Amino acid sequence: MGKSIKERVVEIFKYKNLNVNKASAVLGIPQRTLNRQVNEAGKITMDLVYAILDSFPEVSPLWILTGEGSLLRDEEQQSKDGSSPYYRDMPVSAGLRDAVDVAKEKPQGRILLPKNKADFYFPVTGTSMEPEVFEGDIVGVTRVNSYEKISSSNIYMIVTNETRMIKHCYPDDNNKDILWCVSPNYPSFPVKKSDICALYRVVARIQFL
């Protein structure tokens, strides 16, 4: 069985010759918070992962998130291995959040999951899609170019001029210009297809356990 994300964080600290006290100062995370996550029963948070990747750019985002590959990133290999960009600073809400132009955002790393090739990956905020997708999960998506390919069993990222979100979707039976957005914890609501800038299907999920 592979190492847990907590074990990988500990391995990074050993590689950098850091104890909790030193790591706290380097990462800008309170010592008690860091100790609880690393040495006690606390859960490793995305804030800690982000701080590590910001402070130690040589660390592979893929390795710390999934355990695949090696601790140190290989910049040359990243451009050849078919990996996908990871947008740490582009959280997509399981509720609602302001939308921006995906193409103009700068990725903070790359992720390679060969069985689930994605256009890009990002973290999820909000709880409306639980228990299917949890806040803090990282999901990968691919572009959907035809509404005819939509299946209500899949989860989609919908981007409009005002919002971006992940939901189940299905066409309206009586109005071909409407797409219904569905989540486990909130009422369904319609979105006009003319308001949708882009539609992506969720093809991969990384969950923090």
**Alpha carbon 62 to chain centroid, angstroms:** 12
- Output the pTM of the full model: 0.57
For 149, the token pair is: 């390919």
Same domain, 134 and 206: yes
CATH number (domain holding residue 12): 1.10.260.40
Same domain, 48 and 124: no
Contact (Cβ atoms closer than 8 angstroms) between residue 198 and residue 143: yes
Tell me how far apart the alpha carbons of residues 159 and 197 are, in angstroms, rounded to a whole number: 5
User: Each residue of 31-74: pLDDT tens digit?
Assistant: 999 999 988 888 888 778 888 888 887 888 778 877 877 888 76
Same domain, 119 and 208: yes
- Domains identified in the chain, total number: 2
Share of the chain above pLDDT 70, in %: 79
Same domain, 61 and 146: no
- What is the band of 115 on the pLDDT scale with cuts at 50, 70, 90? low
User: Each residue of 124-163: pLDDT tens digit?
Assistant: 888 889 999 988 888 888 888 788 888 999 999 988 767 7
Range of 176's domain?
Answer: 83-209
Contact (Cβ atoms closer than 8 angstroms) between residue 99 and residue 67: no
Boundary (domain end) residue, out of 45, 73, 101: 73
Boundary (domain end) residue, out of 53, 73, 93: 73
Same domain, 87 and 69: no
Give the residue-averaged pLDDT of 101-105: 49
Query: Which of 36, 15, 143, 167 lies closest to 94, judged by CA?
Result: 167
Same domain, 104 and 170: yes
Q: Would you say residue 209 lies in a domain?
A: yes
Same domain, 106 and 209: yes
Tell me how far apart the alpha carbons of residues 161 and 19 are, in angstroms, rounded to a whole number: 46
Tell me how far apart the alpha carbons of residues 50 and 44 are, in angstroms, rounded to a whole number: 11
CATH number (domain holding residue 98): 2.10.109.10
- What is the band of 168 on the pLDDT scale with cuts at 50, 70, 90? very high
Same domain, 64 and 98: no
Same domain, 32 and 134: no
Query: Which of 90, 89, 119 lies closest to 199, judged by CA?
Result: 119
Residue 17: which region, alpha, beta or left (left: phi > 0; alpha: psi -120 to 50)? left
Least confident of 25-39, 85-99, 103-117, 123-137: 85-99
Q: Would you say residue 78 lies in a domain?
A: no
Least confident of 4-18, 34-48, 76-90, 177-191: 76-90
Give the residue-averaged pLDDT of 162-190: 90
Same domain, 69 and 108: no
pLDDT at 107: 65
Which residues, 6 or more positions from 2, have their beta carbon under 8 angstroms from its beta carbon? 67
